[in-house]
Structure 1
Amino acid sequence: MSKTTTPEQYEKLADIMATKRDFAQGFQQRPKEEVKEFWEEIANALNALGPSKDSSTWRKVWIDWKCYIKRKLSANKKEIMSTGGGQCRLQRISPLEEKVIALTGLETCTSGIRCARDYGDSAQVQDVAQTSEMDISACS
């Protein structure tokens, strides 16, 4: 039997993670025993739907899936920011992937926080660049 995760397993995994957002985002501060028990429950639920994996493998499946979706978002942002020319190479995001994006906050990771102000030295650097002149008349 194949070890490939089925679409039903991905759907169930997303549904389970929607109930535990802190686990989904990877920011839980719980005892190791509780985390291990949670992943054991997930493994039991998902193994009933398709190929069996142990709890640590299901945890890796979740982490890898989030990483894959984040890469797609980053590639789409890069494509949108490009100057044009050639075919549109945006990668399609499925409704299930949209659910994971909303659940984990991956949009913020790749696009930043909307309406956030940029504080830094960028204006100061521009002022220095505009006011400084080089003397290029001197011979070396």
Structure 2
Amino acid sequence: MGKHRTAQQDAIFIAFMERHPMIAKNYLKGDKLAAEAAWKRLSKELNSVGPPVKEVCEWKRVWKDWKSCIRKKINNNRLEDSNACGKGSLYQDTLPALEDAVAVICDLYDKPDRVVESRPKARPEISNRLQLQDIKTDHDEVTATDDDDEEEDD
């Protein structure tokens, strides 16, 4: 697989998204034509310093994938923090400056962590030891009702 973008294209992406945070977060209400025109300008600027050279939809995918990768790192760090005992985890992902900038622009640090929140809470232990006399069977119920019927007939 080829390279997705260069360092210069990363810098262009960051500068553009800082100027257009609603596009960066994909909060496009109403003026989608203006947003599409902005993406076309960005694509032209990114392609001017390429390769790689991509279509608008491909650059959108690169941005979406980049954010997704950063979001996963942040969520992993939160999960590791919640599982850590003592000094913290050795498995934390450090975000380089560019990825940190993307996280700040897109408010990824402020998003709730779905992974940690959806993790089931610890349940109290339930004893699996059952006594045979505690288990009621269909036969026990039938016998009891049959005995009752016989007494009524007397």
**TM-score, with normalisation over the residues of structure 1?**
0.72
Q: RMSD value over aligned CA atoms?
A: 2.5
Number of corresponding residues:
116
CA contact (8 A) 2:43 2:56 kept: yes
- Give the equivalent residue in structure 1 for 2:118: none
Q: 4+ residue stretches of structure 1 with deviation over 3 A?
A: none
C-alpha separation in 2, matches of 1:69 and 1:25: 13
- % of aligned pairs identical? 23
- Give the equivalent residue in structure 2 for 1:91: 93
CA contact (8 A) 1:73 1:110 kept: no
- Give the equivalent residue in structure 2 for 1:59: 60
CA contact (8 A) 1:39 1:55 kept: yes
Letter in 2 for 1:101: A
Instruction: Give ranges in structure 1 of 5+ residues lacking alignment.
Output: 113-135
C-alpha separation in 2, matches of 1:111 and 1:102: 16
**TM-score, with normalisation over the residues of structure 2?**
0.66
C-alpha separation in 2, matches of 1:62 and 1:17: 10
- Give the equivalent residue in structure 2 for 1:102: 104
Larger Rg belongs to: 2
CA contact (8 A) 1:47 1:53 kept: yes
Cα displacement (A) at 1:45: 0.6
Instruction: Give ranges in structure 2 of 5+ residues lacking alignment.
Output: 115-129, 136-154
